[in-house]
Amino acid sequence: MKLSVVVPCYNEEDNIGKLKTEFFPVMEKLIGSHLPDGAQIDSIEVVFVDDGSKDNTYETLKNSFSTSMHPAITVKFEKHEVNRGLGAALKTGFKAITGDVIVTTDSDGTYHFSTIPSMLSHLTKDVAIVTASPYHPKGEVVGVPPFRIFLSQGASLLYRLLLSWKIHTYTALFRVYRREIVDQIPFAADDFLGQTELMVKAMLKGYKVDEFPAALHRRMFGVSKAKLMRTIKSHLGFQTRLLLHRFHIRSMFAE
């Protein structure tokens, strides 16, 4: 079984050293390991997507990882000429992958790369998506500015009310997907709404989501790329459409 890992990057030159020392050793240890259904990970492809960085992210990525660090690991590089947003970077990454299971992860390690194997262990036969969940009762938030947590947790709370109370976190990028989700569930958003839209639409199609209680840490280098007001507006617009959609379906059954 091939595992694909999509890593969106935007102005992450300072974090590439961390990718080399903390991310790739985890990838190497995954070779030969097994998923809960017994599938063995025989090879891994890592797809870096530079989303129009203004620093030397793309060049530094290529200089650091063009030479494979393990015979069973391949690395691909995709590049946007201008910054298009996280959702757009995910779409580009998903077009480039060839694996059976896909991991998406932040490049800054705000969710520790060392927890990827534990997250994969939640991908049982009946689960299509595993999402990191710092807002799960067993999850935690470490050092992240309170106003960012308030906004993210508030957005997730509204999705819980609209969709499923069992899922505590709807906004994390750190996830595992089965290939059929990426192939069969389209999403429109090019911004930070993208990963939420993908999971919500999969849930509406009946796919099962499991949560991985995770620790969300503050960034060690660089600054967050989330444009807060624009992100809030995107989530509120999507939540309104979701509410209207569910109201319409209920009205149809009531007639």
pLDDT score recorded for residue 149: 83
Residue 219 is predicted with a pLDDT of 62
Residue 42 three-state SS: coil
pLDDT value at position 144? Answer: 87
Question: Which pLDDT score, from 0 to 100, does residue 255 have?
Answer: 43
Are 138 and 93 spatial neighbours (Cβ–Cβ below 8 Å)?
no
pLDDT at residue number 47: 98
Q: Across the strands, what pairs with 34?
A: 40
pLDDT tens-digit profile, the chain (255 residues):
999 999 999 999 999 999 999 999 999 999 999 999 999 999 999 999 999 999 999 999 999 998 867 899 999 999 999 999 999 999 999 999 999 999 999 999 999 999 999 999 999 999 999 999 999 999 999 988 887 788 888 889 999 999 999 999 999 999 999 999 999 999 999 999 999 999 999 999 999 999 999 999 986 444 555 566 777 788 889 999 888 876 654 543 344
- pLDDT at position 147, please? 75
At the fourth CATH level, the homologous superfamily of domain 2-254 is Spore Coat Polysaccharide Biosynthesis Protein SpsA; Chain A (3.90.550.10)
Residue type, 164: S
pLDDT score recorded for residue 253:
38
Q: Which sequence spans correspond to the domains of the chain?
A: 2-254
Match 């750190």 to its residue by tokens.
174
DSSP per-residue string spanning 68-119: -SSTTEEEEEEEESS---HHHHHHHHHHH---SEEEE--TT-SS-GGGHHHH
Compute the distance between CA of residue 169 and CA of residue 132 in angstroms, rounded to an integer.
7
Give the pLDDT score at 244: 83
Report the alpha-carbon distance of residue 209 to residue 114 in Å, rounded.
21
Q: Can you give the pTM of this predicted structure?
A: 0.91
